[in-house]
């Protein structure tokens, strides 16, 4: 399984009871995971201001369960790449992402993380999806806190719809 | 180490000279180093012996971008230098271009620019102090200060359209004038501000733990500071009353009555206190500026740099051509060079412009205070404890966009 | 910046290799590269220019000598500024380092070397500061294309 790949729910053979249990398990685990996101704020540039604003009053991410940042990649599951990632910073970002354990999600916060922003030159990485798979892109330069909250909610929907394999490749 | 992922820097501290020291890497992805600075430290137990500071992780090629964009197009780029107080950068850049072109801004614009610059300075100091206190563990103070900062952001969004990076300055004036009721809301925010910072003062100023952690830590003397090119609140905290707003006044500062707060020892506590006092002085200045705000246009009526009225652009051919030329080729700036320094929130923010005529710069260099302070950071970190790295670094207020450009 | 300080300054300078003129915003001192250290030391010790504000270079592609190195000095007591300029060639873009006189030069020279390739004699630490190990070329030179990226890690798609 490729790390970070999202697995859509595929209707396999009709197995009745097993499928029912599996779906319910996915819903339960998805509910638990989506409301207890531990972000790793990989903060670099101006978007940091809006990241601080969205974590504090009045936009509080604590309401979504995504408030407690964990500054160790081993303890976090949501990598929020906030701000421009330059080619100098790229190895660092890759190292951090590889150290995170499954399941993990990536949010590209801001125009620079999404596509390089307006820094189309030798220094800036033209979007972090040139390095890692991204789950949700947040546009804006910097995005308003409401946009970030919308992104968190969309990510939560995505997590809820995912298949969460917790025992083996089938369950 | 994974051979696939190369190391972007080469450390000056490769081997520790002794058996009993450890080399530790702090950053660049670290909450306290504002995500873009790497500090490689040699430690003897908890004491920092040597330090090698690496910045440049946010080098976004701003100066190269300057050579391919018109003078107007650069205003959003300039905003993102010191993104905590973006308006100061806007106005410093516009001032440099205006001086090179020989354009005089209107009186209303002069006062408004000063007011907004001071307002932005307050936002910057709030961010710096809030982050520094949060890194020490004082979450309450962080939340109080960020609440006020958020009100300031919303208020600035009412006039500029954006919360953090405004692109509000224009060569020859401002993008727009103040909306109705803006000044009334300003006074409300200033009153709220005084209440909230009063609370922070009560929580922190005479707090035993705060004093133990900040007093005597990260000290810098005036001689060391001037030798290393340190300016701004860091220089003032060492006791030297140097402020470009008083020494080489620009905009409306010559007409204002304000003090320059100075510190005693140049340690972290002084830097915190100097910033708090500077915010009070900024409020005092803002109130004076509101009283002396003259009526009149906010953009100078100079066809070389100001856009003509939209109604004229749609009906008259000369206005249309003027508008077209300004957008496509940029304002014509005569050949020459200029260095203009404003007092940014971190110190001397200078713009060195070289023009060979035409609508694009030949070269634009930013004298960034944060970059120079990174050179001085080593001195402030060596000899103290590892845990002191966090508050000292926070009090230097290194802004990545400005440091690395 | 009246003419009086300018005249006193002009008298103190060495006769050859240094010429002072009044620029639009501050006096400009054109120096020959050999005169740099003695003049900067003189300015710091006797004329109160105690802070090095800024150090950068300009690439005049097509002209010889190609690079112009520019220093801005500031006097914290008399609040006056001074711009010093000197020219170096493309073949040997070397100039003396001011690290011994102004500590601020350390990082500024590293940046100038990074961006333009100017070598500073006397500054042993010219590691890349804004760029990274493995970056080839000097991006602010006029012949470096703006979008030539040099990624450190292999990129996807």
Q: What is the pLDDT of residues B309-335, one digit of tens each?
A: 888 889 999 899 999 988 898 898 999
Percent of chain B with pLDDT over 70: 98
Give B22-64 pLDDT, tens digit per residue: 888 887 888 877 778 899 888 888 899 989 998 889 999 899 9
Residue B34 resides in a domain: no
| B365/C139 CB distance under 8 A | no
ipTM of this predicted structure: 0.91
Inter-chain Cβ pairs, chain B and chain C, closer than 8 A = 116
| pLDDT 10s digits, C10-68 | 777 776 777 888 888 888 999 888 888 988 998 888 888 899 999 999 999 888 889 99
Q: Which of B122-131, B222-231, C16-25 has the lowest mean pLDDT?
A: C16-25
Whole-angstrom distance, CA of residue A162 vs CA of residue A6? 7
A9-20 in b/e burial notation, b at 16+ Cβ within 10 A?
Answer: eeeeeeeeeeee
pLDDT (tens digit, 9 = 90+) per residue, A13-48? 556 778 888 889 989 999 999 899 999 999 998 898
User: Does residue A18 fall inside a structural domain?
Assistant: no
| Pair B260, B236: CB distance under 8 Å | yes
Contacts of B7 (CB under 8 A, 6+ apart): A91, B1, C133
Map out the domains of chain C with their CATH numbers: 3-97 (3.30.460.80)
State whether residue A124 is helix, strand or coil. strand
Distance of CA B127 to the CA centre of its chain: 11
Q: What is the pLDDT of residue A13?
A: 56
Distance, in angstroms, between C149 CA and closest chain A CA?
4
Q: How far is C90 from chain B (nearest CA, A)?
A: 18
CB–CB contact A90 C131 (8 Å): no
Q: Output the pTM of the full model.
A: 0.91
Question: How far is it, in rounded angstroms, from Cα B208 to Cα B245?
Answer: 35
Choose the closest CB to A88 out of B56, B149, B164: B56
The reply to whether residue C76 touches residue B372, judged by beta carbons under 8 angstroms, is no
What total of structural domains would you count in chain A? Answer: 1
Beta-carbon separation of B8 and A48 below 8 A: no
Has residue B57 been placed in a domain? Answer: no
Find the CB nearest C149 among A87, A91, A132: A87
Determine the average pLDDT of the residues in B100-119. Answer: 93
- DSSP per residue, A34-94: HTS--EEEEE-STHHHHHHHHHSTTT-SGGGT-----SSGGG-SEEEEES--BTTTHHHHH
Task: Out of C131, C146, C156, name the one closest to residue A121 (CB).
Answer: C146
Q: Which of B8, B253, B283 is nearest to B110 (CA)?
A: B253
Chain B nearest-CA distance from C19, in A, is: 18
Residue contact A96–B58, C-beta within 8 A: no
How far off is chain B from A20, nearest CA to CA, in Å? 43
Tokens of C128: 């890349």
The Cα–Cα gap between A11 and A19 comes to 9
Q: A147 and chain B: CB distance < 8 Å anywhere?
A: no
**Chains in contact with chain A (at least 3 beta-carbon pairs closer than 8 A):** B, C
Count: domains in chain B: 1
Cβ neighbours of A4 in C, within 8 Å = none
Q: Are B364 and B354 in contact (CB under 8 A)?
A: yes
Q: Which residues of A touch B65 (CB under 8 A)?
A: 119, 121
Whether residues B64 and C139 touch (CB distance < 8 A) is answered with yes
Binned at pLDDT 50, 70 and 90, residue A163 comes out as confident
Can you give the pLDDT at residue C150? 86
Q: Tell me if B400 and A50 make a contact (CB, 8 A cut-off).
A: no
Residue C2's pLDDT is what? 46
Q: Which domain holds residue B132?
A: 62-301+330-404
Using CA coordinates, name the residue in chain C closest to B62.
Answer: C140
Which chain C residue has its CA at the smallest distance from A133's CA? Answer: C156
**C84-110 residue pLDDT tens:** 999 999 888 899 999 989 989 999 999
What values do phi and psi take at B78, rounded to 5?
Answer: -65, -35
* C138 → chain A, closest CA residue: A122
Is B323 part of a structural domain of the chain? no
Nearest to A107 by CA among A65, A158, A46: A158
Among the residue ranges A55-69, A111-125, B159-173, B283-297, the one predicted with the least confidence is A55-69
Which residue of A48, A80, A116, A120 to mutate against B (max B Cβ within 10 Å)? A48
Specify the pLDDT at position B342.
93
What kind and span of H or E run contains C28?
A: strand C27-31
Sorted by sequence, the CB contacts under 8 Å of residue B315 that are 6+ apart come out as none
**A116 → chain B, closest CA residue:** B60
Using the Cα atoms of residue A106, residue A109, residue A115 and residue A120 in order, give the sign of their dihedral: negative
* Whether pLDDT at C1 is above 50: no
* CATH number of B355's domain: 1.10.645.10
Crossing angle (nearest 10°) for helices B268-291 and B389-396: 20
Interface of C with B in 51-110 (CB under 8 A): 51-54, 56, 58-59, 70, 72, 74, 76, 79, 81, 83, 102-104, 106-108
Angle between helix B107-136 and helix B268-291 axes, rounded to 10 deg? 150
In total, the C-beta contacts within 8 angstroms joining chain A to chain C are 41
- Which residues neighbour B272 within 8 Å (Cβ) at sequence distance 6 or greater? B129, B132, B214, B395
Q: What's the CATH code of the domain at A119? A: 3.40.50.12280
pLDDT score, position B3 = 60
Whole-angstrom distance, CA of residue B111 vs CA of residue B105: 10
Residues in C closer than 8 angstroms to B336, CB to CB, are: 24
What's the pLDDT band for A100 if we cut at 50, 70, 90? Answer: very high
For residues C58 and B363, the answer to whether their CB atoms sit within 8 Å is yes
The boundaries of the domain holding residue A80 are 39-59+66-159
Asked if the structure places residue B135 within a domain, the reply is yes
The DSSP element (H or E) to which B111 belongs, if any, is helix B107-136
CB pair distance less than 8 Å for B227 and C103? yes
* d(C-alpha A57, C-alpha A105), whole Å: 25
CA C58 – CA B355 distance, rounded (Å)? 11
Whether A157 and A26 have beta carbons less than 8 Å apart is answered as no
Specify the DSSP element, H or E, that contains C106.
helix C105-116
């Amino acid at each position: 399984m490729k790390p970070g790949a999202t697995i859509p729910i595929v209707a396999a053979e009709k197995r009745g009871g097993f499928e029912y249990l599996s779906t319910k398990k996915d819903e339960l685990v998805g509910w638990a995971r989506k409301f207890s996101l531990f972000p790793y704020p990989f903060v670099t540039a101006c978007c940091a201001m809006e990241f601080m604003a969205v974590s504090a009053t009045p936009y509080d991410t604590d309401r979504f369960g995504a408030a407690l940042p964990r500054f160790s990649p081993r303890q976090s599951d949501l990598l929020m790449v906030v701000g421009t990632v330059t080619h100098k910073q790229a190895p660092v970002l890759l190292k951090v992402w590889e150290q995170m354990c499954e399941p993990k999600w990536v949010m590209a916060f801001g125009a620079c993380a999404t596509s390089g922003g307006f820094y189309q030159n030798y220094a800036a990485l033209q979007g972090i999806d040139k390095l890692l798979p991204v789950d949700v892109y947040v546009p804006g330069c910097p995005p308003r806190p409401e946009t970030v909250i919308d992104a968190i909610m969309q990510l939560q929907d995505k997590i809820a719809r995912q298949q969460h394999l917790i025992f083996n490749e089938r369950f | 180490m994974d051979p696939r992922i190369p190391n972007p820097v080469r450390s000056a501290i490769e081997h520790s000279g002794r058996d009993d020291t450890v080399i530790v890497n702090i950053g660049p992805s670290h909450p306290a180093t504002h995500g873009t600075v790497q500090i490689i430290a040699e430690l003897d137990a908890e004491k920092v012996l040597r330090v090698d500071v690496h910045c440049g992780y946010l080098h976004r090629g701003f100066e190269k971008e300057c050579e391919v964009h018109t003078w107007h197009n650069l205003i959003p780029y300039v905003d993102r230098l010191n993104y905590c107080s973006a308006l100061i950068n806007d106005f410093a850049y516009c001032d440099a271009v205006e001086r090179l072109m020989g354009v005089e801004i209107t009186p209303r614009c002069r006062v408004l620019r000063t007011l907004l610059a001071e307002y932005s300075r307050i936002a910057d100091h709030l961010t710096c102090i809030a982050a520094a206190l949060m890194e020490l563990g004082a979450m309450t103070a962080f939340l109080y200060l960020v609440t006020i900062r958020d009100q300031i952001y919303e208020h600035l969004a009412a006039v500029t359209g954006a919360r953090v990076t405004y692109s509000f300055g224009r060569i020859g004036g401002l993008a727009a004038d103040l909306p109705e009721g803006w000044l009334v809301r300003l006074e409300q925010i200033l009153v709220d501000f005084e209440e909230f910072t009063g609370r922070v003062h009560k929580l922190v100023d005479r707090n035993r733990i705060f004093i133990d952690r900040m007093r005597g830590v990260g000290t810098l003397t005036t001689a060391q500071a001037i030798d290393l090119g340190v300016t701004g609140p860091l220089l003032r905290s060492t006791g030297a009353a140097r402020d470009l707003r008083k020494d080489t006044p620009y905009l409306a500062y010559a007409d204002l009555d304000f003090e320059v707060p100075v510190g005693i020892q140049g340690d972290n506590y002084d830097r915190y206190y100097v910033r708090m006092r500077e915010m009070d002085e900024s409020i005092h200045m803002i109130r004076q500026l509101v009283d002396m705000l003259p009526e009149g246009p906010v953009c100078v009526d100079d066809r070389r740099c100001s856009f003509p009225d939209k109604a004229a652009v749609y009906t008259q051919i000369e206005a249309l051509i003027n508008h077209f030329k300004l957008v496509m080729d940029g304002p014509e700036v005569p050949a020459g060079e200029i260095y203009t320094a404003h007092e940014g929130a971190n110190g001397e923010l200078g713009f060195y412009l070289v023009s060979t005529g035409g609508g694009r710069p030949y070269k634009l260099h930013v004298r960034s205070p944060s970059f120079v302070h990174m050179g001085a950071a080593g001195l402030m970190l060596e000899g103290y404890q590892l845990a002191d790295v966090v508050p000292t670094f926070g009090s230097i207020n290194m802004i990545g966009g400005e440091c690395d450009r | 910046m009246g003419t009086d300080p300018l005249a006193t300054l002009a008298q103190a300078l060495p006769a050859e290799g240094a010429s002072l003129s009044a620029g639009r915003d501050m006096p400009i001192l054109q120096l020959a590269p050999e005169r740099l250290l003695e003049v900067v030391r003189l300015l710091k010790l006797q004329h109160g220019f105690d802070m090095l504000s800024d150090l950068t270079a300009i690439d005049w592609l097509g002209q010889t000598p190609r690079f112009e190195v520019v220093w801005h000095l500031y006097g914290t007591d008399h609040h006056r500024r001074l711009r010093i300029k000197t020219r170096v060639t493309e073949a040997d873009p070397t100039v003396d380092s001011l690290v011994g006189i102004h500590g601020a030069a350390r990082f500024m020279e590293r940046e100038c070397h990074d961006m333009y390739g100017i070598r500073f004699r006397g500054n042993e630490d010219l590691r890349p500061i804004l760029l990274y190990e493995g970056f080839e070329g000097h991006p602010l030179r006029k012949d470096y294309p703006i979008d030539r990226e040099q990624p450190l890690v292999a990129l996807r798609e």
